[in-house]
A = this chain, B = another copy of it.
Amino acid sequence: METEDAPLTEVGERRIEWAMRSMPVLRAIGARFADTRPLDGLKIAACLHVTAETAVLVGALKAGGAEIALAASNPLSTQNDVAAALGGYGVEVHARAGVDIETYYRHIHRALDIGPDLVLDDGCDLVNILHTERVELLDAVTGGCEETTTGVIRLRQMTAEQALRFPMVAVNDTRTKRMFDNRYGTGQSTLDGIVRATNMLLAGRTVVVAGFGFCGRGVAERARGQGARVIVTEIDPVKAVDAALQGYEVLPMADAARAGELFITVTGNRDVIRGEHLAEMRDGAVLANAGHFDVEIDVRALEGMAQEVNFGVRPYTDEYVLADGRRLLLLAEGRLVNLTAAEGHPAAVMDMSFSAHALAVAWLAEERGRLAPGVYEVPAEIDTEVARLKLEAAGIAIDELTAGQADYLRSWRAGS
């Protein structure tokens, strides 16, 4: 733990305790792990957003017997107080908000120094370094989990090139994660970040959402739910038709650029908003990114076009003044606006994806040595178990199949 900020610890502890209140499922799993110790003797290197919710996950894994070294998966998202508090709990933490890119990578190396049996990643940077710069550690690694869509894309590419050396569970691809975390978590927190940064009225605003995956859908729904007129851009025809049938206007970015007042990228791809689009935008247009990496808005092009930049006209809001006087407002430097300008996903939603994460780690530990390198889905039972615990915690009862119904589903002979 590099930060010394003693007084922070208490603030961080309070923040973690607050998150725990909204994470009853992970609490229950942590309690179970404390009994069963499924991770006894295992070392874990983790590269995750260092937030209060992550701290609860790390706590559950530690309760299960693991020794853990944690680096940040994004230079801007670290909550320093949480980092401090985690250090106090005996977790090795290498993270500080606002570090430069060299420090960022150095932190990942320090986490890897633990010599991991298992790895947890959020964007695939740690796994990448492991396969390129720390190959000496590869033999000891028996598996890992990846949290994001972006990371899973990279892992599948590594698999295709036969570069991946151990099994990775795509925590991102669980129904639990995609349906809840991506859709509801990203949806709410992205708009929360934008409103905190700008205090803009969303009602009546023309909002362009680039990308209609689970995250994009969530952002579009929440923007519409706040009264915005939402335009969607896509490259996948199926998703584009889906957006249209949900009543969104679907346009290519070249046209959307002229219509929009607020742009939110959430595609997992780079250069979604480029110079040619920036050149068409209205005075006062606001640019925000909710995709994992800060590559979706071509910030360099924006810098090149600006005559003048006024940093911090509002918190996390920089104003780029173009030659013709138009002003474009870039939020959070084009990095994840929900983690930077707000507090990331609410704990209640992280409760589900981190619970799946925790159970996936336990499953990996159990299957150790039995899985070939490659990308694995989270076993469906884990999803169901997490959802079941969630309903229980929320006090929601549901129906169960009767014997007759179960028979019916098994039979193909009954007909019209």
User: A residues touching B (Cβ–Cβ < 8 Å)?
Assistant: 14, 18, 21-22, 73-75, 101, 104, 123-125, 128, 132, 153-155, 157-158, 161, 163, 175-176, 179-180, 184-185, 187-188, 192, 195-196, 199-204, 221-222, 224-230, 233-238, 240-242, 244-253, 255, 268-272, 284, 293-295, 313-314, 342-343, 345-349, 352, 383-384, 387-388, 390-391, 394, 396-402, 404-405, 408-416
Name which of A204, A222, A225, A229 has the most chain B CB atoms within 10 A of its CB: A204
> B157 contacts A410, CB within 8 Å?
yes
How many whole Å from A310's CB to the nearest CB in chain B?
Answer: 9
> A394 contacts B347, CB within 8 Å?
no
* Top-6 shortest CB links A-B: A225-B225, A154-B412, A237-B387, A201-B346, A201-B348, A204-B245
The answer for the CA separation of A125 and B413 in the assembled complex, in Å, is: 9
> A188 contacts B180, CB within 8 Å?
no
> B188 contacts A202, CB within 8 Å?
yes
How many whole Å from A40's CB to the nearest CB in chain B?
Answer: 29
Select which of B199, B240, B268, B411 is within 8 A of A387 by beta carbon: B240
Given contacts A18-B313, A245-B180, contact A238 B383 (CB under 8 A): yes
> A237 contacts B347, CB within 8 Å?
no
Select which of B241, B400, B405 is within 8 A of A270 by beta carbon: B405
Question: Which B residue's beta carbon lies closest to that of A312?
Answer: B14
> B184 contacts A188, CB within 8 Å?
no
Residues of chain B within 8 A of A226, CB atoms compared: 188, 222, 225-226
New A-B pairs, 11, CB < 8 Å, besides A270-B408, A271-B404? A128-B412, A153-B409, A188-B203, A204-B244, A226-B226, A227-B245, A229-B249, A235-B401, A240-B391, A255-B397, A293-B415
Question: Which B residue's beta carbon lies closest to that of A158?
Answer: B412
Select which of B104, B401, B408 is within 8 A of A416 by beta carbon: B104
How many whole Å from A136's CB to the nearest CB in chain B?
Answer: 19
Residues of chain B within 8 A of A271, CB atoms compared: 402, 404-405, 408
The answer for the CA separation of A225 and B227 in the assembled complex, in Å, is: 8
Select which of B184, B227, B343 is within 8 A of A199 by beta carbon: B343
> A399 contacts B188, CB within 8 Å?
no
> B248 contacts A399, CB within 8 Å?
no
Given contacts A101-B416, A188-B195, contact A200 B234 (CB under 8 A): no
The answer for the CA separation of A219 and B77 in the assembled complex, in Å, is: 30
Residues of chain B within 8 A of A410, CB atoms compared: 157
> A384 contacts B237, CB within 8 Å?
yes
> B227 contacts A21, CB within 8 Å?
no
Given contacts A233-B398, A237-B390, A405-B271, contact A180 B348 (CB under 8 A): no
How many whole Å from A175's CB to the nearest CB in chain B?
Answer: 5
> B200 contacts A22, CB within 8 Å?
yes
> A416 contacts B204, CB within 8 Å?
no
- Can you sample 25 A-B contacts with CB below 8 Å? A73-B416, A74-B416, A123-B415, A124-B415, A125-B415, A128-B415, A184-B245, A188-B203, A222-B226, A229-B248, A229-B249, A230-B247, A233-B399, A236-B384, A237-B384, A237-B388, A237-B390, A237-B391, A240-B396, A241-B391, A251-B397, A252-B398, A252-B399, A270-B405, A270-B414
Question: Which B residue's beta carbon lies closest to that of A253?
Answer: B399
Question: Which B residue's beta carbon lies closest to that of A380?
Answer: B238
Select which of B123, B203, B246, B284 is within 8 A of A245 by beta carbon: B203
Given contacts A199-B347, A204-B245, contact A227 B412 (CB under 8 A): no
The answer for the CA separation of A411 and B390 in the assembled complex, in Å, is: 37
Residues of chain B within 8 A of A347, CB atoms compared: 199, 201
